[in-house]
Amino acid sequence: MHHFAYKGGVLYAEGVSLGEIAGAVGTPFYCYSTATLKRHYTVFANAFAGSDALVCYSVKANSNLAVLKTLGAQGSGMDVVSEGELRRARAAGIAAERIVFSGVGKTRSEMAYALDEGIYAFNVESEAEAHALSDVAAAKGARARIAFRVNPDIDPKTHKKISTGKAEDKFGVPFDRARGLYKEASGLPGIKACGIHMHIGSQITDLQPFADALELLRALADQLHDDGHSLEFVNFGGGLGVPYRGDDDIPPHPDDYANAVRCALADLDCKLVFEPGRVIAGNAGVLVARVLYEKHGANRRFTVVDAGMNDLIRPTLYDAWHEIWPVDEKLRGAPATPTDVVGPVCETGDYLALERALPEFGEGDLIAVLTAGAYGAVQSSSYNTRPLVPEVLVNGDAWAVVRPRPTYDDMLALDRLPEWL
């Protein structure tokens, strides 16, 4: 569910017309719904009501400070994958003890910063990382709380570029080496191995891969207990999918996901940690663009808009489908024919949709690309010297720009000419 709907013939975000925002800030722009962010977080968190659970929103999905602060006010912790994301979480007021640090390439300086901040735990992805973290922590006279990220070699049945739990993926340590690594870690100075972490991928729409992973996770937890390790928490990551194709693409409900978790981890006396990202932010955002031209090729129709692959890379990077709605409701009922919705970037891969049945647009018409709240603005770039697009947060009938569009002077000022030029 999201809070984008037609009112009086115009597409609204909660109580604000997207056309009104477009007139004020220009296009393209991202628009996020506070009500949707709150609702999705609440539904996920409530699925684990009665359990000792820590929900750590995955910052990489959408790292805007206003989004983080909105979720933090609902009680969310944060999952970060860099010092920059950690600094964002802290700037948004998230308590350090509600933050977990993931990622395969943490630097020693990032480790030191996270230790100084006092985060809840590190998700350690290799033996080498464990030794590096041990060195950093021991030099500070500290002990880093860790969970090894265990790779169960399970196919999550998602896009190959967002699979993280197969043997050939770069993430985690092999399942059959985990017990040995926990034994080794118990002898490392500056390390306290007190949890297990497993995350098998993103945009997962079938509960079976989760169930298979949970079975292995529980087996490992029991083995570690038998080995004498004391586990304080189990972190099952994130990955629950969202409905990109509307009612034709419904993933499992968080309640069903929670039931699978409870069934597998019953009687395991430890905290449950989760790292949802897309399921919280995905449907909470849209990308609004303006039609520049309708172009008819020899055997192809093109709808040229002012948003490109540098603004939303998911369609070309992940073969992703996003629903596209006209902001003017009258166009929803107009005759539709196949068109490629393309942008102004000088690349053949610059498209938002291919062969999509859409009405014939006029110059200046507005479109909304749905389910763009996750992995949209965070993956954008200034390729072709195109300014990053603004981000807007709506709250009821109020709205605010939460990341402004830089000027061209702002962009040029980032460069430096050497003295010989």
Q: Which domains does the chain have, with CATH numbers?
A: 4-31+282-412 (2.40.37.10), 103-274 (3.20.20.10)
The whole-number pLDDT of residue 158 equals: 54
Q: What is the set of active-site residues?
A: 346
pLDDT at 165 over 50: no
The whole-number pLDDT of residue 247 equals: 62
| Integer Cα distance of 63 and 78 in angstroms | 10
| Integer Cα distance of 258 and 46 in angstroms | 10
Segment 59-79, tens digit of pLDDT: 999 999 999 999 999 999 999
For range 239-260, the mean pLDDT: 85
Q: What stretches of 18-143 adopt beta strand conformation (E)?
A: 29-33, 53-58, 77-80, 99-101, 121-124
Q: Where are the alpha helices (DSSP H) in 77-177?
A: 83-91, 108-117, 127-139
Segment 332-367, tens digit of pLDDT: 989 999 999 999 999 999 999 999 999 999 999 999
Comparing C-alpha atoms, which of 162, 185, 138, 137 is closest to residue 278?
162
Higher pLDDT, 350 or 175: 350
| Mean model confidence pLDDT for the chain | 94
- Residue located via tokens 């073969």: 319
For range 83-99, the mean pLDDT: 98
SS3 assignment, position 263:
helix
Segment 283-320, tens digit of pLDDT: 999 999 999 999 998 999 999 999 999 999 999 999 99
What distances in angstroms separate CA 244 from CA 150, 321, 369, one per listed residue?
29, 7, 10
